[in-house]
Structure 1
Amino acid sequence: MIDSVFEVPTYEFAACAFTALGAIVAFGKLSHARVKTWALSYLFDIAFPGKDSNKVLRIFMECLVFVALGIIVAIAVTKPANPMQAIAAGMSWAALLGKFK
């Protein structure tokens, strides 16, 4: 019988919390003005047309989606074993999928 090589990542609360902390730090440090995350920014341009329409809501929603994607991608790619690895994974996922201006 063939054994499965692919393991589905487990999303434990502590790993998700520390990864989210790292993603929030990355979002704050990189700033909305300096990084475009994959197609996320373009989707929010469509959802919130205009320069100043709901700017605070847009940034808040973009941060939430950024953090959620950060948790999913970072844990799936790195499988962090301790809080330091989870924070680093949360911070570094933006470099993996981000486009800097």
Structure 2
Amino acid sequence: MIMNSVTIPQSLESLTYQVDYLNVTFKNDWCQENIATLIDLLFLPIMPVTMQEKIIGADRENIRFRWDNNNFVLNFDYYSQSCWIEGQDSPSTEQLATLHLAMTK
């Protein structure tokens, strides 16, 4: 089996605010083995963050986390190279703009 060489992303391409979620784009393609590094990259500007649960699937990972008394989910989908953050409930969804500002300072 031939393995493709994958560069681990070093930084974000963009973090955009949508009404119901934050869309995350990395400068380089990533693989599922890179997700722990990507989590660290995303959470660094907003520490302290409490990771509540990590759900690992075949091509997707979901990380439930608490920040500033709100509950969010960080989603990674390997096949589509998609990453996004959403609120777990209405009050948290309403705080996505605040989270976006904190992550992009």
| TM-score normalised by structure 2 residue count | 0.27
Higher normalized contact order (CA 8 Å, seq sep 6+, divided by chain length): 1
Higher alpha-carbon Rg? 1
TM-score (norm 1): 0.27
- Higher relative helix content: 1
User: Greater share of strand residues, 1 or 2?
Assistant: 2
